[in-house]
Amino acid sequence: MLYQNDEHVHVMDHPLVAHKLTIMRNKNTSTKDFRELVSEIGMLITYEATRDLPLTTKHIETPICGAEMPTLAGKKIAVVPILRAGLGLVDGVLRLVPSARVAHIGMYRDEETLEPHVYFCKTPQDIASRDIMVVDPMLATGGSADAAISEMKKRGCKHIKLMVLVAAPEGIQCIRERHPDVDIFCGAVDEKLNERGYIVPGLGDAGDRIFGTK
Ligand code: PRP
Ligand code: URA
């Protein structure tokens, strides 16, 4: 489903995603269950975000006859988790795209200004020639995703997608303005941000809930 008829913003319109997100949003859900659900929903969104992967054909022998059959054209992909919480999504992407490389980008937000700072970025050498999937459970103000996407562009990346579980309208607007070339795939779009930059109703601090740090 498109968000506000914008062909670059794809919202999952699927009962499994809606159901699993509701379990995640519940503050009584355990760290173990929360982590497993991040991974599962990550896999479901990856399914949608890879819909445009190019196919070619190859000749195979079925038990019945020879046939030309579709196979992935072998596009090179890198998944880029924004540390920390983005790590929770890597496993789900890799389960569907096992050949993808992983480029880590470390980002922390100043607690007062909410400004993001990149403190670490380790990518495969051929990152510029890969299709990039930046992943993070939360798109709140959009500052972290904006900084991560800009860092990838600095390194020559041209084809970038952003995958998040929950987005705020403010975050979507930020990425659409700063990176009109980037498609956004999200599990849900929530109502708003609160005064502390948290998504409402949201699911709280995704990193703390994945890693059990609170
Ligand atoms: C969270 C989340 C995003 C960011 C979203 O990370 O995982 O990276 O906030 O907020 P924004 O859109 O306003 O930038 P956080 O900074 O809490 O770090 P963590 O992953 O280490 O918990
Ligand atoms: N980061 C989170 O982890 N949760 C929010 O709601 C906003 C930013």
| Per-residue model confidence (pLDDT) at position 43 | 97
Quick one: tokens of 118? 């990149």
| Per-residue model confidence (pLDDT) at position 135 | 98
Neighbours of 174 (CB within 10 A): 18
**pTM, whole model, 2 decimals?**
0.96
Pocket test for ligand 2, best of 199, 209, 213, 214 (most atoms within 8 A of CB): 199
**How does the average pLDDT of the chain come out, rounded?**
96
| Per-residue model confidence (pLDDT) at position 111 | 76
What residue ranges line ligand 2, CB within 6 angstroms?
138, 140, 197-199, 202, 205-207
pLDDT tens, position by position, 33-76: 999 999 999 999 999 999 999 999 999 999 999 999 999 998 89
| Per-residue model confidence (pLDDT) at position 108 | 82
Buried b (16+ CB within 10 A) or exposed e, 3-28: beeeebbbbbebeebeebbeebbeee
| Per-residue model confidence (pLDDT) at position 162 | 98
Q: How far is the CA of 141 from the centre of ligand 1 (A)?
A: 9
| Per-residue model confidence (pLDDT) at position 114 | 72
Establish whether the linkage from the previous residue to 130 is cis, with ω within 30° of 0. Answer: no
Pocket test for ligand 2, best of 110, 203, 208 (most atoms within 8 A of CB): 203
For ligand 1, atom 21: residue with the closest CA: 84
Low-confidence ranges of the chain (pLDDT < 50): none
Q: What is the 3-state secondary structure (H, E, C) of the chain?
A: CEECCEEEEEECCCHHHHHHHHHHHCCCCCHHHHHHHHHHHHHHHHHHHCCCCCEEEEEEECCCCEEEEEEECCCCEEEEEEECCCHHHHHHHHHHCCCCEECEEEEEECCCCCCEEEEEEECCCCHHHCEEEEECCEECCCHHHHHHHHHHHHCCCCCEEEEEEEECHHHHHHHHHHCCCCEEEEEEECCEECCCCCEECCCCCHHHHHHCCC
| Per-residue model confidence (pLDDT) at position 214 | 86
